[in-house]
Amino acid sequence: MDAFHLLDPKRGRPIDPGLLSDILRGAGIGKGGPHIRCPLCRWRPGPGDRWVCGCGEIWNTFRTGGQCPACFHRWTRTSCLACHRWSPHQDWYERASDPDAGA
């Protein structure tokens, strides 16, 4: 297979800008950088990692909170490029208050 992994094909709604900012703020984006890791294997995606939408768009899904910048489909689950398992998008954002965040 290729290096990309299809995201959840379920239909979604365009993400609300307010919700996106909440997600990004919760993830610490804008104040020291995002803390994103696979909730299953703890792989951390880098800025060069890419996901592909069913519409063919290829982008870094964590820059948009899981929303495709081309068709505005919002992906509620994200596949891990390391362990190839699926997790809810929001579970990827490591929160400082998480007990398993590494302190």
* Contact positions vs Zn ion (CB under 5 A): 38, 40-41, 43, 53, 55, 57, 68, 70-71, 73, 80, 82-83
Q: In this complex, which beta carbon is closest to Zn ion, that of residue 36 or of residue 53?
A: 53
Q: Please state, in angstroms and rounded to a whole number, the distance separating the CA atoms of residues 42 and 31.
A: 21
Are the C-beta atoms of 7 and 53 separated by less than 8 Å?
yes
State the minimum distance, in angstroms, from the CB of residue 46 to Zn ion.
Answer: 14
State the minimum distance, in angstroms, from the CB of residue 76 to Zn ion.
Answer: 14
Q: In this complex, which beta carbon is closest to Zn ion, that of residue 15 or of residue 38?
A: 38
State the minimum distance, in angstroms, from the CB of residue 87 to Zn ion.
Answer: 8
Q: In this complex, which beta carbon is closest to Zn ion, that of residue 19 or of residue 55?
A: 55
Q: Which residues contact 43 (CB under 8 A, 6 or more apart)?
A: 37, 80, 81, 82, 83
Are the C-beta atoms of 22 and 29 separated by less than 8 Å?
no
- The DSSP bridge partners found for residue 36 are 93
